Structure 1
Amino acid sequence: MPKAEAGSTKWVANKMKSKGLQRLRWWCEPCQKQCRDANGFKCHVQSEVHVRQMAAVGEDPKKYISNYSKDFQADFVNLLRTAHGEKFISANRFYNEYIRDKEHVHMNATKWSSLLEFTKHLGREGICHVKEDEKDGLMIAWRDSSAAAVTRRNEIAELEAAEARSGAGEDKMLKKMAKRAQEEAEAKKAIEAKRAAQAATQQVTPPAERVSPTIGASPMDEKVDALVNKQQESEEPKAPVKLSFGLKAKAAPTNKPGLGQMKSQSIFKRKKDDASEPKLAKKVKL
């Protein structure tokens, strides 16, 4: 039966029937023909066009399969790069996105028999990042292998390593501070215990002279004794210190009466006494 002409009623009806995804098993890659059922695919395989096309492919099948595989991988990775970048996505979900285009290269024409093998191949070759998830199964993500991306990843790795080293240094410093605080708390408890013991002994017996630490004493006990002696010395009462600034009281002169011994004198009397004093006569030269 001849093929329907483009734009005819039969051609439009066929396009409406073939709308959407069809079975991959009924797709003929050499002829670029999609059949709707098994009977249609059987009739297509027995047709003269298919036999002639398969004869051309049979001359060098490896070449055709290699070309189809390269085209499929290039389209698959390119769509993964543009659609999702370096974000992880389920392999099955992304394959459904890829086959929405009916003109894509189908997997049954490639050297991979399943999506699982193709995904493992991408992971082994370093083309994509592949990991396994309990919920979504295999997850894939595009891997940027350009020089700029490699340099950026190295810089990020160096920064993370520096942050890890600084974090380790901070943890070490915090441990040292905690250890020092614990030692100080233990020393303080030991001092308080020794004070309590000394107070108890002082109530029963008179205070004894300070005894130097014994030879067999531990360094911790020696430190505690030194701290106790130092605090006792600081607690001993000291004589008050007299401060002198070098100022001495001046003695009153003997020939002058003091402030308390002075007698009040009237202004008029003082003026009169001044007037009673004899005035000196001026000498006149002859």
Structure 2
Amino acid sequence: MPRAEAGSIKHLSNQMKSKGLQRLRWYCQPCNKQCRDANGFKCHVQSESHVRQMQLVGEDPKKFIQGFSSDFQRDFIALLRTAHGEKWIGANKFYNEYIRDKEHIHMNATRWSSLTEFVKYLGREGICNVKEDEKDGLMIAWRDTSVEAVRRRQEIAEQEAKEARNEAGEDKMLKRMAQRARMEAEAKVKTLEAKQVQEKSSEGIPVQQEPGEEAKADGEEPKPKAAPVKVSFGLKAKATPAVKTGLGQMKSQSIFKRQRENGEEKPKKKVKL
């Protein structure tokens, strides 16, 4: 049966029936023809045009496979650049966007057997940025390899490196300033202490030395360290002993004892036998 002429009612009907994606198993990539069922695909395979096309493919199959692979990669990268740019997107999700076009190059005609292998190839060649995510699996993003983009990335990297060096230099300078300030403060303290010692020595005031240190004069032996003096800060006055009477004080007498007269002797105590 001859093919319907372009613009005829039969041609339009066939176009409406074949709208959208059909089964991949009934698609002929060398002839670029999509069949609706197994019977149509069988008739197409037995047609004279398909036989002539397959004879051409059989003469140099590597040439056709390389051409389909380059076309597939070109269309894939072009859609990724225009649709998403340098944003990350799941490889499976983007592939579903790519195959919406009915006339796209099918992957079974290329040298890649799966989408994962193709995405890994793009990552190895540096054509796209590829990473693996735990949730979305393989992620893909377009990589701008133009001269302007490369120069812009180099400028950004140099600017970041310069900022990092400036921050490191500022940290070193702050540490150096803190160390210098600490040394100056210690020097001032030592100078002030030496000045105070000199003033006390000129006024004749003995200089208080730290415990464990002794003043050593030239040619003199060190003096033994004096015993420490205990100082009591209690409020209770210390009582004087009753035996020893202080100066200007009288011995206390009991008011219940009878005062003896002159010449009266003290009665002797009786001893029981």
TM-score range, shorter chain: 0.5 to 0.7
Q: Which residue of 2 aligns with 1:212?
A: 209
Q: Which residue of 2 aligns with 1:142?
A: 142
Is 1:20 aligned to 2:20, yes or no?
A: yes
Q: Which residue of 1 aligns with 2:154?
A: 154
Higher helix share: 1
Secondary structure at 2:161 match in 1:
helix
In structure 2, the CA distance between the partners of 1:209 and 1:130, relative to structure 1 (3 Å rule), is same
Between the aligned partners of 1:134 and 1:171, the Cα distance in structure 2 is 39
State the Cα distance separating 1:164 from its structure 2 match.
2.5
Between the aligned partners of 2:103 and 2:69, the Cα distance in structure 1 is 15
Do the aligned partners of 1:24 and 1:108 also contact (CA within 8 Å) in 2?
A: no
Identity %: 73
Q: Which residue of 2 aligns with 1:222?
A: none
Between the aligned partners of 1:167 and 1:20, the Cα distance in structure 2 is 59
Q: Which residue of 2 aligns with 1:124?
A: 124
State the Cα distance separating 1:178 from its structure 2 match.
9.1
Secondary structure at 1:30 match in 2:
coil
Opposite residue 154 of structure 2, the aligned amino acid is N
Opposite residue 3 of structure 1, the aligned amino acid is R
Between the aligned partners of 1:215 and 1:150, the Cα distance in structure 2 is 73
State the Cα distance separating 1:34 from its structure 2 match.
0.4
Aligned 1:80-91 pairs, distance under 5 A: 80-91=80-91
Opposite residue 76 of structure 2, the aligned amino acid is F
Between the aligned partners of 1:16 and 1:62, the Cα distance in structure 2 is 35
Between the aligned partners of 1:133 and 1:124, the Cα distance in structure 2 is 17
Is 1:43 aligned to 2:43, yes or no?
A: yes
Aligned 1:92-107 pairs, distance under 5 A: 92-107=92-107
TM-score between both structures, scaled by the size of structure 2: 0.62
Secondary structure at 1:3 match in 2:
coil
In structure 2, the CA distance between the partners of 1:214 and 1:154, relative to structure 1 (3 Å rule), is farther
Structure 2: runs of 5+ lacking an equivalent: 187-204, 214-273
Between the aligned partners of 1:149 and 1:171, the Cα distance in structure 2 is 33
State the Cα distance separating 1:136 from its structure 2 match.
1.6
In structure 2, the CA distance between the partners of 1:159 and 1:213, relative to structure 1 (3 Å rule), is farther
TM-score between both structures, scaled by the size of structure 1: 0.59
Between the aligned partners of 2:115 and 2:42, the Cα distance in structure 1 is 26
Cα-to-partner distance string for 1:229-259 (whole Å, 9 max, x where unaligned): xxxxxxxxxxxxxxxxxxxxxxxxxxxxxxx
Secondary structure at 1:119 match in 2:
helix
Between the aligned partners of 1:180 and 1:20, the Cα distance in structure 2 is 78
Opposite residue 212 of structure 1, the aligned amino acid is Q
State the Cα distance separating 1:125 from its structure 2 match.
0.7
Q: Which residue of 2 aligns with 1:63?
A: 63
Secondary structure at 2:42 match in 1:
helix
Secondary structure at 1:54 match in 2:
helix
Aligned 1:108-257 pairs, distance under 5 A: 108-170=108-170, 209-213=206-210
Between the aligned partners of 2:138 and 2:173, the Cα distance in structure 1 is 43
In structure 2, the CA distance between the partners of 1:166 and 1:63, relative to structure 1 (3 Å rule), is same
State the Cα distance separating 1:172 from its structure 2 match.
5.7
In structure 2, the CA distance between the partners of 1:9 and 1:215, relative to structure 1 (3 Å rule), is farther
State the Cα distance separating 1:89 from its structure 2 match.
1.4
State the Cα distance separating 1:209 from its structure 2 match.
4.8
In structure 2, the CA distance between the partners of 1:175 and 1:90, relative to structure 1 (3 Å rule), is farther
State the Cα distance separating 1:214 from its structure 2 match.
6.6
Count how many residue pairs are aligned between Structure 1 and Structure 2. Answer: 193
